[in-house]
Chain A
Amino acid sequence: MWKRYLIPGIVFTALTVFVLYPILCVIFRSFSTGHGAGLDVYARLFSNPGLARTVWSSIGVAIASSIVATLLGLCIAIVVFKTDLPFRRLFSATAVLPLIIPGFVATLAFIFLFGRNGIISYQWLGLDLDIYSWKSVLSVQAVDFTTIAFLLISAVLTTVDSQVEDAARNLGASEWKVFTTVTIPLVRPGIIASLILIFMRSMADFGTPLLIGGKFNTLASASYTQLIGRYDMPMASALNTLLLIACILAFWLYLRAQKSQSAVRAHYVAERKNLNLPAPIRYALWVMSLLFSIYILMIIISVFLAAFTKHLGANYALTLEYFCMLPQRSLNSIINTIVFASGAAVTMSFTGVVLAYICTRTRFRGRGVLEFIATLPFAVPGTLIGVGYILAFNQVPLLLTGTWVIVFMLVLIRELPLGLRSGISVLEQQDRSIDEASTNLGASRITTFFQIILPMAKSALLVSSLYAFVSTVQTVGAIIFVITPGTKLLSVDVFEAIYKGEIGVAAAQSVTMLLVSAIGVAAIYLISQREATARWMRKVMAQTRSI
């Protein structure tokens, strides 16, 4: 009997310690004063106009970038999946490319392109722009998050049954009417999900405002500066708690929307057919997609240029001097990154299936709670988890600060929602009766798990762990708070180099990081040649990229 609770019990304890406890630490810290509990910190926060303003700055930019990114994503998805215009493969490839370009690398490129010495703004147009403002934050985020919108919307768009559109045509609807009254309403679940998830991502993004916002601050970036710049832990906790409230509210909305929409989705592979939209609209959408693709390619090109030239914008002499600095500056980080990312990826995908199995196939009483805690890192901003890890693991018996364990656990926890989600979606696709057949033939639960369930999930798990690898290579959000000189990661090196203005080094490090990611992506691409895996991946990836 106790055996039934052994594995769930271990998982439960681990999740409580490494997910729930740090989050609670932050919340408690924000409400604690020198003499018990109170709202002192919040009073201090709202009496400081600069900090008080971050609440509305965050929400404003988040709403704006979620709308812009969703529209862009929708536009590209329609061109790619609903027209026969040229360059569709290029568009869909560049639309997912930002997955391997972390926000801070996109920011770096934005500076190269539009900064004081920017290739476009200064070299071409002769403008002298001050780019450090909320507008730049919005631009960088919108482009970066378009990927999420594209993935979510195309996941739904590709399952829209063209027969329904044909039915509308048969009843006399023009192509435009078919589009507005049939296609768009059917895609609405994807649009809503995209709006909410991008809102959350944008709220939690501290890097972009920090690097390019100038005086503009958001809750997330302010919490970083309050902690790292001023060592004001209570204030960082309070800012993060406010951020958490917004993100949890948004996540709750997202779950509600998901629930009410689940009935609409077709469960079969639908026949796909193009929409013959009016020419001006079609070409407008196409031009938008083309501009987007060009911009994404320019990001990559400019980062490469900056890494291999003396001084981008002034001296184009080719050089390897920045790469020569890498072994000395970042060798440890590169090794750490590869080791941590592979370790986390493998652990994550295995843990994910075990969790998914407990949550969907057993009658363990706490399974709802288990699923909730394991999903939390998806909704909880990285800065909050980072601060939480500092607070939680700074004293005996959980003294982990400064060790590699804390960094590894943090990386693992951040990828856990992806593991759980992909585990659940794999198990959902597996026929329950196969599980029962194994039991019927005399296999125990453990045997069934290792002989049947795991092998069947193999390729899907490989893809999700590679994806976790790629996403870990670029992650900065929570890690930056717990990193020590001994446990540095490449992404943090890049971030710090940009922050300090060492542009050439940052570019060289970025290129290295992109290459490491690219290896993972190439592997994913090879495995997901099959359409079914590709579709599955689009859905899971879009929903679970942690914020």
Chain B
Amino acid sequence: MDAKSNGSDTVNLAGLDLISLSKSYGEQKVVNDFSVSFVKGELFCLLGPSGCGKTTILKIVAGLLEHDGGKVILEGQDITDLPPQKRNVSLVFQNYALFPNMNVFENVAYGLQRRRISGDELKRRVEETLAFVHLGDYGNRRVHEISGGEQQRVALARALVVRPRLLLLDEPLSNLDARLRADIRKEIRRIQRELGLTTVYVTHDQEEAMSLSDRIGVMKDGHLEQIGSPQEIYENPSTRFVADFIGHCNFIEGEINDGILSLLGTKFHVQERDLPEGKKVICSIRPERIRIITSAGSDLRGIIQEAVYLGSAVHYQLIVEGWRNPVELIAEVPVSQAIFGIGDSVGFEVKPEDIRLFPS
């Protein structure tokens, strides 16, 4: 995918490149030296807490927001200074932003009219696209007469009908209820795959990002913390923030001496060697990687404080005794093995390879 062009700059000829974008509002830097390459045809999620600059990046790509520095390169073409009308980059807004003075058909036709397409071709393309999002009969409806999920699909159709070079989605599911969200999520994925459309999807919902993306970029304070496939992000978080933001995590203080980790009074031979020795570290362990055992021989022991039933699993809250301050841990156990009661003293196991280390 990547190709060399004019000197040392690596330019992704097929997809979208953002090169050190920055944007501040007064003193506050919303986007800070932000660079990333999107591969053609992939669905890339920008995931991060609200206020981390995700939407700002979408608006910069669409040209709706002036930025302070950096470049936007689409399919090898520098579109940084191109006016928003000329970019052919479709944005689906969080609240859909449908034109209330027009019906469904007119909404979808709007972008085509701006491209001077009229008559039969306009009609055919609008109807095709409406059928594509399963809204074939909805052309004459007013936009406030249809449900939230249908509005969402009109917004999607309006964005797709112009055959954009890039599809941008700004938290498209946040105004829908949980059940509808799953349906539309599948729908978006289907459409995106069928059209092979490069798509940037902004969300703060990690579950949504995990289930939808080819790749995820986790954002914090206007920069990327980590890029990777959902699995990479979950299993090998590169920073403590990522570990904390994606799924549940236990964070425990530990110490490294001569490559050996002391954690909760027990020694572990950990694989990671990139951390300096003799220093305090923060260890993260996923709840499902803590195995509770009944046998008395375990070094690690705790008392069950609380049990939270989650349907498929039970979360046990343990207080681990014996090493300086008591430490709280969450362990996830499948329901079939959840045989413990509050107040039980239990042993537990953690494999060294399930421990991630971060600087303290």
Contacts and interface: CB of A to CB of B under 8 A. Distances in A.
B101 A438 contact: no
A85 interface: no
Interface of B: 59, 62, 64, 84-86, 88-91, 93-95, 97-101, 110-111, 114-115, 158, 162
Given A433-B94, A436-B91, A437-B91, A442 B111 contact: yes
B162 A441 contact: yes
Given A433-B95, A437-B91, A442 B114 contact: yes
A439 B97 contact: no
Given A441-B114, A443-B114, A455-B101, 10 more contacts: A433-B93, A436-B59, A437-B93, A437-B97, A437-B99, A440-B89, A442-B111, A443-B110, A447-B114, A456-B101
Contact of A439 (B84, B94, B101): B84
B104 to A, nearest CB: 14
A10 to B, nearest CB: 23
Contact of A452 (B95, B99, B111): B99
Contacts of B101: 452, 455-456, 458
A444 interface: yes
B110 A440 contact: no
Contacts of B111: 441-442
Interface string A417-439: 00000000000000101101111
Contacts of B99: 434, 437-438, 452, 456
Contacts of A434: 97-100
Nearest to B62: A440
A441 B64 contact: no
A447 B113 CA distance: 11
Contacts, number: 60
Contacts of B158: 437, 441
Nearest to B110: A441
A456 B100 contact: yes
Given A440-B91, A441-B158, A441-B162, A431 B97 contact: yes
B284 to A, nearest CB: 38
A442 B115 contact: yes
A440 B114 contact: no
Contacts of B115: 442
Nearest to A430: B100
24 contacts: A433-B97, A434-B99, A434-B100, A436-B59, A436-B84, A436-B91, A436-B97, A437-B99, A438-B110, A439-B64, A440-B62, A440-B64, A441-B111, A441-B162, A442-B85, A442-B88, A442-B111, A442-B115, A443-B85, A451-B110, A452-B101, A455-B101, A456-B101, A458-B101
A439 B93 contact: no
Contacts of A443: 85, 110, 114
Interface in A236-254: none
A185 B82 CA distance: 52
A208 to B, nearest CB: 44
Contacts of B110: 438, 441, 443, 451
A530 to B, nearest CB: 13
Contacts of A436: 59, 62, 64, 84, 91, 93, 97
A440 B95 contact: no
Contacts of A444: 85
A441 B98 CA distance: 12
Given A437-B91, A456-B100, A442 B86 contact: yes
Interface of A: 431, 433-434, 436-444, 447, 451-452, 455-456, 458
Contacts of A447: 114
A436 B98 CA distance: 11
A456 to B, nearest CB: 5
Nearest to A447: B114
A440 B84 contact: yes
Nearest to B88: A442
Nearest to A452: B99
A456 B144 CA distance: 13
Contacts of B100: 434, 456
Contacts of B86: 442
Contacts of B93: 433, 436-437
Contacts of A458: 101
B196 to A, nearest CB: 21
A439 B85 contact: yes
A22 B285 CA distance: 76
Contacts of A437: 91, 93, 97-99, 158
User: Which of A434, A436, A441 is the most central at the interface, judged by chain B CB atoms within 10 Å of its CB?
Assistant: A441
Nearest to B91: A440
Contacts of A439: 64, 84-85
Contacts of A441: 90, 110-111, 114, 158, 162
User: Which of A436, A440, A444 is the most central at the interface, judged by chain B CB atoms within 10 Å of its CB?
Assistant: A440
User: Which of B94, B97, B158 is the most central at the interface, judged by chain A CB atoms within 10 Å of its CB?
Assistant: B97
A436 to B, nearest CB: 5
Nearest to A436: B64
A458 B88 CA distance: 30
B289 to A, nearest CB: 43
A329 to B, nearest CB: 46
B95 to A, nearest CB: 6
Top 4 nearest A-B pairs (CB, nearest first) are A441-B111, A442-B114, A433-B97, A437-B97
Nearest to B161: A441
Contacts of B97: 431, 433-434, 436-437
A442 B162 contact: yes
A436 B90 CA distance: 11
Contacts of B89: 440
A440 B86 CA distance: 8
A458 B100 CA distance: 12
Contacts of B98: 434, 437
Contacts of B94: 433
Nearest to A445: B85
Contacts of A455: 101
A104 to B, nearest CB: 41
A440 B59 CA distance: 10
Contacts of A433: 93-95, 97
B260 to A, nearest CB: 55
A4 to B, nearest CB: 12
B184 to A, nearest CB: 19
A455 B103 CA distance: 13
